Amino acid sequence: MYESHGAKKYTGMAKIKFISEMDSNDILKRYKDNLIISEEEFKEYVGNRKKMAVVVLEDFKMFDIPVKPQKFVTISGKYITDNEYQSIIKKSS
Protein backbone atom coordinates (compact mmCIF):
# COMPACT_ATOMS: atom_id res chain seq x y z
CA MET A 1 0.00 0.00 0.00
CA TYR A 2 1.46 3.35 -1.06
CA GLU A 3 0.52 6.42 0.95
CA SER A 4 0.36 9.24 -1.61
CA HIS A 5 -0.39 11.95 0.94
CA GLY A 6 1.82 12.41 3.96
CA ALA A 7 4.48 9.70 4.10
CA LYS A 8 4.80 9.16 0.31
CA LYS A 9 6.06 5.69 1.17
CA TYR A 10 4.90 2.08 1.18
CA THR A 11 3.20 1.78 4.56
CA GLY A 12 1.79 -1.74 4.34
CA MET A 13 0.51 -4.48 2.08
CA ALA A 14 -2.62 -6.50 1.37
CA LYS A 15 -3.76 -9.25 -0.96
CA ILE A 16 -6.16 -8.41 -3.78
CA LYS A 17 -9.25 -10.56 -3.24
CA PHE A 18 -10.89 -9.49 -6.51
CA ILE A 19 -11.32 -6.66 -8.99
CA SER A 20 -14.54 -5.95 -10.87
CA GLU A 21 -16.66 -3.24 -12.43
CA MET A 22 -19.93 -2.48 -10.67
CA ASP A 23 -22.85 -0.10 -10.81
CA SER A 24 -22.12 2.82 -8.47
CA ASN A 25 -25.35 2.30 -6.50
CA ASP A 26 -24.57 -1.39 -6.03
CA ILE A 27 -21.11 -0.53 -4.67
CA LEU A 28 -22.62 1.62 -1.95
CA LYS A 29 -25.27 -0.99 -1.08
CA ARG A 30 -22.76 -3.85 -0.91
CA TYR A 31 -19.68 -2.14 0.56
CA LYS A 32 -21.08 0.84 2.50
CA ASP A 33 -19.50 -0.29 5.79
CA ASN A 34 -16.16 -1.23 4.20
CA LEU A 35 -15.32 1.80 2.06
CA ILE A 36 -12.13 3.73 2.83
CA ILE A 37 -14.09 6.99 2.54
CA SER A 38 -17.39 8.16 4.05
CA GLU A 39 -20.71 7.66 2.28
CA GLU A 40 -20.88 11.40 1.57
CA GLU A 41 -17.35 11.44 0.10
CA PHE A 42 -18.24 8.42 -2.03
CA LYS A 43 -21.37 10.08 -3.42
CA GLU A 44 -19.42 13.27 -4.18
CA TYR A 45 -16.64 11.28 -5.89
CA VAL A 46 -19.08 9.19 -7.95
CA GLY A 47 -20.95 12.21 -9.33
CA ASN A 48 -22.80 11.06 -12.48
CA ARG A 49 -20.72 7.91 -13.06
CA LYS A 50 -22.88 4.84 -13.59
CA LYS A 51 -20.09 2.24 -13.21
CA MET A 52 -16.81 2.15 -11.33
CA ALA A 53 -13.96 -0.26 -10.69
CA VAL A 54 -13.97 -2.04 -7.33
CA VAL A 55 -10.83 -3.49 -5.75
CA VAL A 56 -11.45 -5.64 -2.67
CA LEU A 57 -8.42 -6.21 -0.44
CA GLU A 58 -7.78 -8.66 2.40
CA ASP A 59 -5.02 -9.65 4.84
CA PHE A 60 -3.79 -6.11 5.54
CA LYS A 61 -0.39 -5.78 7.19
CA MET A 62 1.03 -2.41 8.23
CA PHE A 63 4.81 -2.09 8.06
CA ASP A 64 6.79 -1.34 11.21
CA ILE A 65 8.96 0.99 9.09
CA PRO A 66 7.48 2.76 6.01
CA VAL A 67 9.63 2.26 2.89
CA LYS A 68 10.44 4.92 0.28
CA PRO A 69 9.85 3.64 -3.30
CA GLN A 70 12.89 3.23 -5.55
CA LYS A 71 11.02 5.10 -8.30
CA PHE A 72 8.08 7.50 -8.48
CA VAL A 73 4.65 5.90 -7.95
CA THR A 74 1.99 7.27 -10.32
CA ILE A 75 -1.64 7.80 -9.38
CA SER A 76 -2.54 4.60 -11.24
CA GLY A 77 -0.07 2.58 -9.18
CA LYS A 78 3.16 0.77 -9.94
CA TYR A 79 4.12 -2.80 -10.78
CA ILE A 80 6.59 -4.17 -8.22
CA THR A 81 9.13 -6.78 -9.33
CA ASP A 82 10.10 -9.72 -7.13
CA ASN A 83 13.45 -8.06 -6.34
CA GLU A 84 11.77 -4.79 -5.33
CA TYR A 85 9.19 -6.68 -3.25
CA GLN A 86 11.94 -8.53 -1.36
CA SER A 87 13.76 -5.23 -0.78
CA ILE A 88 10.58 -3.60 0.59
CA ILE A 89 9.95 -6.52 2.94
CA LYS A 90 13.55 -6.37 4.30
CA LYS A 91 13.41 -2.60 4.86
CA SER A 92 9.94 -2.64 6.44
CA SER A 93 10.76 -4.68 9.53
Q: What is residue 3's predicted lDDT score, i.e. its pLDDT?
A: 87
Taking the C-alpha atoms of residue 31 and residue 38, their distance in angstroms, rounded to an integer, is 11
CATH number assigned to the domain with residue range 10-91, chosen from the 4 options 2.60.40.3080, 2.30.130.30, 1.10.8.100, 2.40.50.140: 2.30.130.30
Q: Give the predicted TM-score (pTM) of the model.
A: 0.71
Domain ranges of the chain: 10-91
∠ CA 77-82-87, nearest 5°, is 90
Residues 6+ apart with CB under 8 A from 74: none
The confidence band for 74, taking pLDDT boundaries of 50, 70 and 90, is confident
